[in-house]
Amino acid sequence: MKHLLYLIALLFLVASCKSTSSATSSSKKTSRLNEQIIDDATDKIGSPYKYGGTTNAGYDCSGLVFTSFQKNDISLPRTSFEMSKKGTIIKKNDCRKGDLIFFKTNGKNRINHVGIITEVDDDEIKFVHSSTQRGVIISSTKEDYYRKSFAQINRIVD
């Protein structure tokens, strides 16, 4: 009986520690709305790239973001440059799933590419986007091309 009480007390202690630790990491917690936006965007993985595209026949980068947010009743501008003016610009180390990540690609000095962050792991950020070469895919900021062309991160949904 003494061992059973000890085991129950130990289980209670472990359970209470878990709930305390999850409360302290709530600043990185992903909202259900952000999860839904990510699900809507990643459902399109494998769709081809199409300039100006906003359907499964093809998406451009901002078309993918635009439709994923629109499906969840959030209105965004249609271009990556205009999207970069919405929400709150946040520090790279404060980003979380569902935030928008922007790039200045091909040597341009103006934002011209956008994706939706799907995963944050220390110094690596993964994001879903539509690539001109490969269509809708998930890429990483560890890839040289995206590491060098990174511009900013914006939070649209708190």
Whether 3 is catalytic is no
Of these residues, 3, 17, 95, 129, which one is catalytic? 129
3, 17, 95, 113: the active-site residue? 113
Catalytic residue flag (residue 113) = yes
At 63, list the tokens: 């078309």
One-letter amino acid at 148 equals K
DSSP string, 110-131: S--EEEEEEEEETTEEEEEEEE
Residue 108 CA: distances (Å) to CA of 3, 18, 94, 117: 68, 47, 26, 22
Catalytic, 61? Answer yes
Cα(108)–Cα(81) distance, integer angstroms: 12
What positions carry a catalytic annotation? 61, 113, 129
